[in-house]
């Protein structure tokens, strides 16, 4: 077991090194207007993703279940989904590439943090073997990945909206586009968060005979969904200003982080095995 954990951790650190190299090259290319350097930053980025993927698959084979129980597994898989979503969307929509300045550092920080947790091998309770649990967790991970991209555009909006923004920010899309990108990715995350809650309710009913129990994780998850629903509603129908929308989204993202990573520590519930 110790040797297997060492291999797993080593692959994660190699992925972190690649992501850090990609961050440095990417930031240098954007800030100093070196298009060639910016393009080449994707070489270590793809290598890091390959190592990241290999680590996930390797540990999945070792523990015999998906990466959704221990903190190390959760952080690593959340980071992987965020990176895959970003790389997929940026190939289809090149104008979102500047989000890499936020997304890639967040990803390598999540992978690095995962390495400070003891990976361990934990057996799943019988109720955690349901396909509905897998769908429940997968949709939440996709939602979080989309919200991370939206977070990048919200931060960029606030930076660029200052009276005297740095010159490198001029290479970013204009304020209207930044606001629109944040809104669209927030909507994407909102939809998948809702589907995740629905799948979780079906899992709970099949496992315990009830759809909803108001435990801390469920309550925080619902709060998060309502906050993002309010954000989308105000942004769409009440023309909330871009600056206020950006701050509102950042607040909602902070609540989402609590819902995903801290709420399971707030009391005993059916989620007590998660992120422990």
Mean pLDDT of the chain: 91
Alpha carbon 87 to its chain's center: 13
Q: Is the pLDDT of residue 121 over 70?
A: no
Q: What does the pLDDT average to over 199-222?
A: 90
Structure-token pair, residue 61: 């084979």
50-67: b (≥16 Cβ within 10 Å) or e? ebbebbbeebeeebebbb
Q: What does the pLDDT average to over 59-74?
A: 87
Beta strands of 129-264 (E only): which ranges?
A: none
Contact 237, 175 (CB under 8 A): no
Q: How confident is the model at residue 66 (pLDDT cuts 50, 70, 90)?
A: confident
pTM of the model: 0.94
pLDDT in tens, 8-45: 999 999 999 999 999 999 999 988 888 899 899 999 99
pLDDT at residue 167, as a whole number? 80
pLDDT in tens, 44-64: 999 999 999 999 999 999 888
């Amino acid at each position: 077991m110790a040797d297997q954990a060492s291999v797993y951790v080593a692959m994660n650190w190699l992925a972190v090194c690649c992501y850090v190299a990609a961050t440095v090259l990417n930031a240098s290319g954007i800030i100093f207007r070196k298009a060639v350097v910016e393009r080449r930053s994707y070489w270590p980025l793809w290598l890091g993703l390959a190592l990241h993927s290999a680590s996930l698959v390797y540990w999945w084979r070792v523990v015999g279940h998906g990466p959704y129980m221990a903190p190390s597994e959760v952080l690593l898989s959340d980071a992987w989904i965020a990176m895959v979503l970003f790389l997929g969307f940026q190939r289809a929509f090149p104008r979102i590439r500047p989000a890499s300045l936020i997304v890639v550092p967040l990803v390598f920080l999540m992978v690095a943090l995962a390495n400070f947790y003891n990976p361990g091998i934990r057996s799943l309770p019988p109720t955690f073997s349901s396909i509905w649990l897998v769908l429940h967790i997968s949709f939440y991970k996709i939602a979080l990945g989309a919200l991370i991209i939206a977070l990048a555009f919200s931060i960029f909006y606030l930076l660029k909206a200052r009276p005297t923004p740095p010159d490198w920010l001029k290479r970013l899309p204009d304020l209207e586009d930044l606001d629109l990108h944040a809104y669209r990715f927030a909507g994407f995350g909102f939809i998948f968060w809702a589907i995740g809650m629905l799948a979780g309710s079906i899992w709970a009913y099949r496992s315990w005979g009830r759809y909803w129990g108001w435990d801390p994780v469920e309550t925080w998850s619902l709060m998060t969904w309502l906050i993002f629903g309010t954000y989308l509603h105000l942004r769409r129908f009440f023309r909330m200003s871009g600056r206020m929308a950006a701050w509102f989204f950042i607040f909602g993202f902070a609540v989402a982080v609590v819902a995903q990573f801290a709420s399971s520590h707030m009391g005993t519930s059916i989620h007590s095995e998660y992120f422990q």
